[in-house]
């Protein structure tokens, strides 16, 4: 099979003509054409290899042979819908249940994180009979109509919105690392929003948040925050929805789900999962309690998702779970993520433009600032790091409201050598780009 059907220039011209321009390309000034991939590496049409630091979807590595094998085997046998009984869907639900708190025992399989989040909203509304949803500042939960409503990241540009609480960011938020108890303080801001909702004569259906807010800037929720928020939300008759679409399936290393970082005493009422679940295959899921599922059934409306939970999707999902275990990818995530965090933290001591380094497992952010005291976002500098790393054949991207956080969420097979390479190259870029003779701190960094 030829790897290219059209020359790159032609592909780009066709893309501009045929695909909605709202669907943006990476490196839009000079997009990359990728024709094959393996593990954590992408290859362009000239055979140039890129180190992939951002494809969290291809969780166990691009084109993992075990995943291809599982898909092929099941595609040859059967891919009917879930209205017929089949073992894969129940086996897969059973395996997922084993990773979750006991109370999260009922599953709905869908095709995307957006579909999962939309269904989570429906479940919460049906169960609580309340309407209002509280989300975090700068949140993004998907591309569907219902989710734009709850995604400040996008909806600030559009009409309509829900309530949102301040992002619990201890580097840049309203309570910082010097606060004696940021978890309590941030949780209290959610309580304030609940009070505001009640003052309007309305009621809270759900608190809806990523377990590690990613678009908001690779944020780690202070430990204890979720437990406290869940307490407030449940007191108001609402439920706690943990969006694990970006963060689940062992990315954080120490735990299978990022919400588990909050401690054993915490369990959400609904968990949504997606991106890494099928290693690229469209596969997502909502897990909830028997009580919430029961309320949804009681409305008498069937929920049928044409492709959701089909035997091929579930076979792929099962294979992903197997590979995570067999290759100890959670262990790898802890080790390599820890090493990457160490290396970037060392760079922070050398390069004042690095304001903060944070992360857990292979979910890491490097926040760039032009001024360490003011923490002024170094948006242009971050964009330049992305561009310069591309010249070194390393793919990273930025996140955060000011796009000043360089993010790392690579396939989970990312290696120590990969971590060293990217840290070395960032050190090099920050060193050579420093204006000659300049001090290491101060406004000269604005020259970026």
Q: Write out the binding residues for a second copy, residues 140-199 only, by CB under 8 A.
A: 143-146, 148, 154, 157-158
Asked if 93 interacts with a second copy (CB under 8 A), we say yes
Kindly identify the residues of this chain, within the stretch 321-360, that bind a second copy according to CB under 8 A.
Answer: none
Looking at 48, 49, 75, 387, which residue binds a second copy (CB under 8 A)? Answer: 75
- C-alpha distances in angstroms, 17 versus 3, 227, 363, 445? 22, 49, 36, 40
Q: How far apart are CA 218 and CA 399, in angstroms?
A: 7
* 303 forms part of the interface with a second copy (CB under 8 A): yes
- Is 114 or 226 the residue whose CB approaches a second copy more closely? 114
71/230 with CB nearer a second copy: 71
Q: Which of residues 27-66 bind a second copy (CB under 8 A)?
A: 31-37, 42, 55, 57-58, 62-63, 65
205 by Cβ neighbours in 10 Å (0-12 / 13-18 / 19+) ranks as buried
Query: How many other C-beta atoms lie within 10 A of the C-beta of residue 130?
Result: 18
CA distances from 419 to 281, 311, 339, 364 (A): 27, 37, 7, 11
Residue 368 is inside which H or E element, if any?
A: strand 363-371
Beta carbon nearer to a second copy, 158 or 446: 158
Q: For residue 88, what are its two tokens?
A: 């894969």
Residue length, the chain?
448
In the complex with a second copy, the residue whose CB is nearer, 320 or 430, is: 320
d(CA 8, CA 275): 28
CB of 22 to a second copy, least distance (A): 4
Choose which of 168, 309, 355, 377 interacts with a second copy (CB under 8 A): 309
In the complex with a second copy, the residue whose CB is nearer, 105 or 384, is 105
Asked if 432 interacts with a second copy (CB under 8 A), we say no
108 scored as a contact of a second copy (CB under 8 A) = yes
Work out whether 362 is an interface residue with a second copy (CB under 8 A): no
By CB under 8 A, name the one of 40, 99, 112, 404 that touches a second copy. Answer: 112
94 scored as a contact of a second copy (CB under 8 A)? yes
Q: What separation in angstroms does the CA of 160 have from each of 126, 146, 196, 241, 427? A: 22, 11, 18, 21, 43
- Any bridge partners for residue 165, and if so which? 136
Q: Indicate the residue among 142 and 217 with the shorter CB distance to a second copy.
A: 142
Nearer CB in complex with a second copy: 115/169 = 115
Is residue 71 near a second copy by the rule CB under 8 A?
yes
Tokens 């894969």 sit on residue:
88
- Which residue of 141, 251, 275, 409 would you call a contact of a second copy, by CB under 8 A? 275
Segment near a second copy (CB under 8 A), from 173-181, 274-282, 330-338, 415-423? 274-282
Question: Least CB distance from residue 287 to a second copy, whole Å?
Answer: 10
Least CB distance from residue 134 to a second copy, whole Å? 17
CB of 191 to a second copy, least distance (A): 27
Q: Show the tokens assigned to 388.
A: 């310069």
Q: Which residue is associated with the tokens 């919400």?
A: 259
Question: Is residue 265 close enough to count as binding a second copy by CB under 8 A?
Answer: no
CA distance 334 to 320: 18
Q: Which residues contact 210 (CB under 8 A, 6 or more apart)?
A: 136, 139, 141, 216, 242, 243, 244, 245, 246, 247, 258
Stretch that binds a second copy, among 92-100, 219-227, 386-394, 414-422 (CB under 8 A): 92-100
Q: How many residues bind a second copy (CB under 8 A)?
A: 107
Check residue 206 for interaction with a second copy (CB under 8 A).
no
Give the CA distances from residue 329 to residues 32, 250, 335, 366, in Å, rounded to whole numbers and listed in that order: 28, 8, 10, 23
**Interface residue with a second copy, options 49, 68, 328, 350 (CB under 8 A):** 68
Q: Distance between CA 106 and CA 168 in Å, rounded?
A: 30
Contact (CB, 8 A) for 394 and 53: yes
Taking CB under 8 A as the binding criterion, the range among 119-127, 162-170, 190-198, 225-233 that sits at the site for a second copy is 119-127
- Distance in angstroms (rounded) separating the CA atoms of residues 221 and 166: 12
**Please, which residues bridge with residue 163 across strands?**
134
Asked if 375 touches a second copy (CB under 8 A), the answer is: no
Does position 4 interact with a second copy (CB under 8 A)? The reply is yes
**Whose Cβ is closer to a second copy: residue 180's or residue 304's?**
304
Cβ 336 vs Cβ 379: under 8 Å: no
383 interacts with a second copy by CB under 8 A: no
- Tell the smallest beta-carbon distance from residue 410 to a second copy (Å): 13
Task: Please report whether residue 305 would count as binding a second copy according to CB under 8 A.
Answer: yes
Q: Whole-angstrom Cα distance, residue 398 to residue 228?
A: 30
- Among residues 8 and 339, whose Cβ is nearest to a second copy? 8
């Amino acid at each position: 099979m030829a790897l290219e059907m059209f020359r790159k220039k032609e592909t780009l011209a066709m893309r501009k003509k045929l695909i909605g321009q709202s669907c943006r390309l990476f490196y839009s000034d000079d997009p990359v054409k990728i024709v094959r991939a393996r593990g954590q590496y992408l290859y362009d049409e000239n055979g140039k290899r890129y180190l992939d630091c951002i494809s969290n979807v291809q969780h166990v590595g691009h084109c993992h042979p075990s995943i291809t094998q599982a898909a092929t085997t099941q595609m040859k046998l059967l891919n009917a819908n879930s209205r017929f009984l089949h073992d894969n869907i129940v086996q897969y639900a059973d395996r997922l249940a084993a990773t979750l708190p006991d109370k999260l025992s009922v599953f709905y399989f869908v095709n995307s994180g957006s579909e999962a989040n939309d269904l989570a909203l429906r479940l919460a509304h049906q169960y609580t009979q309340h309407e209002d949803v509280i989300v975090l500042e700068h949140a993004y939960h998907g591309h569907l109509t219902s989710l734009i409503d709850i995604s400040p990241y996008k909806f600030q540009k559009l009409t309509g919105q829900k309530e949102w609480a301040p992002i619990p960011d201890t580097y840049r938020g309203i309570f910082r690392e010097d606060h004696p108890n940021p978890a309590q303080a941030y949780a209290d801001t959610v309580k304030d929003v609940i009070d505001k909702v009640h003052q309007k004569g309305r009621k809270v259906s759900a608190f809806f948040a990523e377990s590690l807010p990613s678009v908001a800037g690779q944020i780690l929720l202070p430990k204890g925050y979720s437990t406290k928020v869940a307490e407030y939300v449940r007191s108001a008759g609402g439920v706690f929805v943990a969006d694990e679409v970006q963060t689940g399936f062992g990315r954080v290393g120490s735990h299978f789900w990022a919400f588990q970082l909050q401690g054993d005493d915490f369990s959400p009422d609904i968990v949504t999962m997606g991106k890494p679940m099928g290693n690229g295959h469209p596969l997502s899921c909502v897990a909830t309690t028997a009580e919430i599922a029961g309320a949804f059934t009681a409305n008498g409306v069937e929920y049928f998702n044409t492709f959701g939970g089909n035997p091929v999707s579930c076979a792929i999902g099962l294979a992903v779970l197997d590979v995570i275990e067999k290759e100890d990818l959670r262990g790898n995530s802890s080790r390599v993520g820890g090493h990457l965090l160490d290396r970037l933290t060392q760079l922070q001591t050398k390069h004042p433009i690095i304001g903060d380094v944070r992360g857990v497992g292979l979910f890491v952010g490097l926040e760039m600032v032009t001024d360490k005291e003011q923490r002024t976002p170094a948006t242009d500098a971050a964009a330049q790091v992305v561009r310069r790393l591309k010249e070194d054949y390393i793919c990273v991207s930025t996140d955060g409201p000011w796009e000043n956080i360089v993010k790392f969420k690579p396939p989970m097979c990312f290696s120590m050598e990969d971590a060293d390479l990217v840290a070395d190259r960032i050190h090099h870029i920050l060193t050579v780009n420093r204006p000659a003779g300049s001090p290491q701190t101060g406004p000269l960094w604005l020259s970026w």
